[in-house]
A = this chain, B = another copy of it.
Amino acid sequence: MLEGYKGKALEFLSFHNADLGDIIEIQKDNITIKGVLMPSYSKDDDIIVIKLDNGYNVGISLKGINNFRIIEKKTVPPTTKAEEKKKEEKSEVKIISTGGTIVSKIEYETGAVRPALTTEEIINFMPEIKEIAKIDAEVLFSILSENMKPEYWIKIAESAKKALDNGNLGVVIAHGTDTMAYTASALAFSFKSLTGPIVLVGSQRSSDRPSSDSPINLYSAILVAKNAPFAEVTVNMHGESSDTYTLVHRGVKVRKMHTSRRDSFQSINDIPIAKVYWKDKEIKLLRDDYFTRREKNELDAKFDTRVFLLKYYPGMRADIIDYLIASGIRGIIIEGTGLGHTSTELLEAFRKASKDGIFIGMTSQCLFGRVNMNVYTTGRQLQEVGVTPLEDMLPETAIVKLMWVLAHESDLDNIRKLMLTNLAGEMNYRHIPEYFPRWYHDRIRLQ
């Protein structure tokens, strides 16, 4: 459990029976330093990292330490095997933890996030959640979501299916925010039907910060998992910058739109499915066209990663496409300009790729709106060489869908057909002006 420590430092801490999260006191060179023991990512093996009360953390060399004592052990409530068994049988909502900020009790500006917590820690993370549902939890992975990959998507899907098959009313998946939308898409394409909602939840600010969104996001995710009438793969995150409500987004239509804001997850070319006023335990549906709870959970999770997401920019050279062909790729999603274009200089390379049986789909780097490759010559020429316009699908959703489709179809025509079949609401055929957000166009306050 002494993550990152090695050599002398590991030996020293083990000897003192110290663990990450313990409050420790060090005396060194006549100075007393008090703080929380943090993971080490130092290359040196004689450094101990502690987080001070002011939020900063410091690396302290073992050299010259006169005294070391643990002031307070990190508390972990005890649980017996029998108790765990009992919970498994009776739970209404299962929390599957994959890692990320939401399951980190400690985070700091200059240090690392430790994503791993035990099952018990997750359940005791926010005591109020036990009042709204019988909870069971499982630590499936402890990874930062930037390290999420297709083989993990399959494990998450299988774990979620098991939980629903076992009678849980819904599943909450704690996940890092970086790639949460990709995982949501992967699960959405993998489940043909669901008995209850799968709610991905994360947090933009860890629970040791006063502005943390962890508790509210988790609380409302559990409300949704247990009570929502829809049974879709969704993302539940803060809806606006205050703590009024969270939003439940359709997994295939959501995107992380800001690096740090709590309301960074927003539906694109779509409206969220529901708003959750957590204080009133109210799930307010924003639409009626959702997938409902079914009799059984049908799962078909397979992904072929021989794909590439190609974001076009002026000056892009055609040789990259030749390389992709040579590398044995089976599909390309282009993130083109405007209505779905690239330079016509790439046409021949796309024609060759297409002739080699490679699927090429077009999305737009505008993100909002729909591609339309019939308006301009370039769009028509791209279609002629085999590029398929993918409606209003997000580039991120399209690349995940393509991985799923390629694992199920080998014939190019069938691949095309499946890519244009609306499997999980990833295409929205009718847009309303409200899909486009409103921008601030007034004078800024210069101070």
Residues on A facing B (Cβ under 8 Å): 41, 107, 109-110, 112-113, 144-150, 153, 176-179, 182-183, 239-241, 245, 247, 256-261, 263-264, 266-267, 271-272, 275, 285-289, 303, 305, 307-309, 311, 313-317, 319-320, 323-324, 327, 335-345, 364-372, 374-378, 380-381, 395-396, 399-400, 403, 432-446
Of chain B, the residue at the smallest CB distance from A43 is B384
B146 and A113 contact, CB distance less than 8 A? no
A179 and B41 contact, CB distance less than 8 A? no
Q: How far is the CA of A47 from the CA of B240 in the complex (A)?
A: 56
List B contacts of A367 (CB < 8 A).
257
A311 and B335 contact, CB distance less than 8 A? yes
A314 and B446 contact, CB distance less than 8 A? no
A313 and B182 contact, CB distance less than 8 A? yes
The answer, among B41, B145, B275, B316, for a CB contact under 8 Å with A377, is B41
Of chain B, the residue at the smallest CB distance from A317 is B305
Of chain B, the residue at the smallest CB distance from A41 is B377
Of chain B, the residue at the smallest CB distance from A240 is B441
Q: How far is the CA of A315 from the CA of B372 in the complex (A)?
A: 28
List B contacts of A153 (CB < 8 A).
314
List B contacts of A178 (CB < 8 A).
337-339, 341
The answer, among B257, B320, B364, B444, for a CB contact under 8 Å with A434, is B444
Given A372-B259, A438-B438, A320 contacting B341 (CB threshold 8 A): no
A305 and B315 contact, CB distance less than 8 A? yes
Cβ of A373 to closest chain B Cβ, rounded Å: 11
B179 and A364 contact, CB distance less than 8 A? no
Of chain B, the residue at the smallest CB distance from A328 is B319
Cβ of A334 to closest chain B Cβ, rounded Å: 11
Question: Closest 7 interchain pairs by CB?
Answer: A259-B369, A437-B437, A146-B341, A178-B337, A178-B338, A434-B440, A258-B368
Given A315-B150, A315-B305, A446 contacting B288 (CB threshold 8 A): yes
- 16 CB < 8 A contacts A-B: A109-B375, A146-B342, A149-B343, A256-B365, A258-B366, A259-B370, A260-B370, A264-B368, A266-B439, A271-B442, A275-B441, A286-B441, A286-B444, A311-B335, A437-B439, A438-B440
Q: How far is the CA of A437 from the CA of B336 in the complex (A)?
A: 23
A436 and B258 contact, CB distance less than 8 A? yes
List B contacts of A305 (CB < 8 A).
315, 317
Cβ of A24 to closest chain B Cβ, rounded Å: 21
List B contacts of A324 (CB < 8 A).
320
Q: How far is the CA of A145 from the CA of B438 in the complex (A)?
A: 27
B271 and A444 contact, CB distance less than 8 A? yes
B271 and A146 contact, CB distance less than 8 A? no
B371 and A259 contact, CB distance less than 8 A? yes
B309 and A313 contact, CB distance less than 8 A? yes
Of chain B, the residue at the smallest CB distance from A364 is B259
Q: How far is the CA of A60 from the CA of B307 in the complex (A)?
A: 41
A315 and B303 contact, CB distance less than 8 A? yes
Of chain B, the residue at the smallest CB distance from A395 is B311
A241 and B433 contact, CB distance less than 8 A? yes
A441 and B113 contact, CB distance less than 8 A? no
Of chain B, the residue at the smallest CB distance from A340 is B259
Cβ of A409 to closest chain B Cβ, rounded Å: 18
Cβ of A201 to closest chain B Cβ, rounded Å: 16
The answer, among B144, B287, B336, B399, for a CB contact under 8 Å with A376, is B144
B113 and A287 contact, CB distance less than 8 A? no
Q: Which interface residue of A107, A178, A308, A369 has the most chain B CB atoms within 10 A?
A: A178
